[in-house]
Amino acid sequence: MRLSVIDHPLVAHKLTALRDASTDSPTFRRLADELVTLLAYEATRDVSVEPHPVTTPVAPTTGVRLTSPKPIVVPILRAGLGMLDGMVRLLPTAEVGFLGMIRDETTLQATTYANRLPDDLSGRQCYVLDPMLATGGTLVAAVNYLLDRGAVDVTAICLLAAPEGIEVVRAAFDQHAHVTVVTAAVDERLDEQGYIVPGLGDAGDRLYGVV
Ligand code: URA
């Protein structure tokens, strides 16, 4: 497993505003969207491309284009939905699949309650969107789900991560060179309820309100 913590002043600036408890939902959604686009730029560094001829107004040359099949973007419901627009802005031709996962607040175990993904992901590059890498349970379950269906390469984009969650993901995909986590910051720790400290609170609630 590879970990990439994006060290950039704009990323840090937007993350600080996201953390602020007084940031309202509309502003939180806009900031999350902008932050994802910045993270996506780094996360797609290894996206698969092939040579492609192009004729400029001056001369023919060879550029690149995304290879087919196109990458799949997989937001984890519900909070990952708040990251989708920011991701597809950079990858507009990507397909989008959905995974509904919920963690039991007592056991902190993740279970899948919905999925809308092809059964066969052979040869596909997948980008999982999950704002908070907390215990790691949800992300390990999601990555396994995609690898089991043949995905060759899975990159998770998380706004924030806890050291405990990173270790869980690292242990699960120790031997897997094609699992990557990209995040804006690694925080101090998890609290007893499994919240990231200092974190930004419940990402789903802050994006969409408490329902
Ligand atoms: N999920 C969240 O939304 N926030 C946390 O701090 C941990 C998990």
Cα–Cα distances (Å) from 147 to 71, 121, 131, in that order, read 14, 8, 20
Q: Tell me the per-residue pLDDT of 11-38, one tens digit each, with 9 for 90 and over.
A: 999 999 999 999 999 999 999 999 999 9
**Residue 57 falls inside a structural domain:** no
> DSSP alpha helices (H): ranges in 83-201?
84-88, 137-148, 163-172
59 lies in some domain: no
Ligand 1, closest atom to CA 200? 6
**Does a structural domain hold residue 55?**
no
Which CATH number fits the domain that encloses residue 107?
A: 3.40.50.2020
> Does residue 4 register a pLDDT over 90?
yes
For residues 111 and 98, what is the distance between their CA atoms, to the nearest angstrom? Answer: 14
- Ligand 1 centroid to Cα of residue 97, in Å, is 22
- Its domain, for residue 116, covers 2-49+64-208
Q: What is the predicted pLDDT for the residue at 108? A: 67
Of 115, 141, 131, whose CA–CA distance to 205 is shortest? 131
Q: What is the mean pLDDT of residues 98-116?
A: 83
Q: Does residue 164 have its Cβ closer than 6 Å to ligand 1?
A: no
Mean pLDDT of the region 60-88: 96
pTM of the entire predicted model: 0.94
Ligand 1 pocket member 99 (CB < 6 A): no
Count structural domains, the chain.
Answer: 1
Nearest CA to ligand 1 atom 3: 202
E strand or H helix at 173: none
Per the CB < 8 A criterion, the answer to whether 100 and 114 are in contact is: yes
Q: Which residue has the higher pLDDT, 106 or 181?
A: 181
Residue 202 lies in a domain: yes
For the CA atoms of the chain, what is the radius of gyration? 17
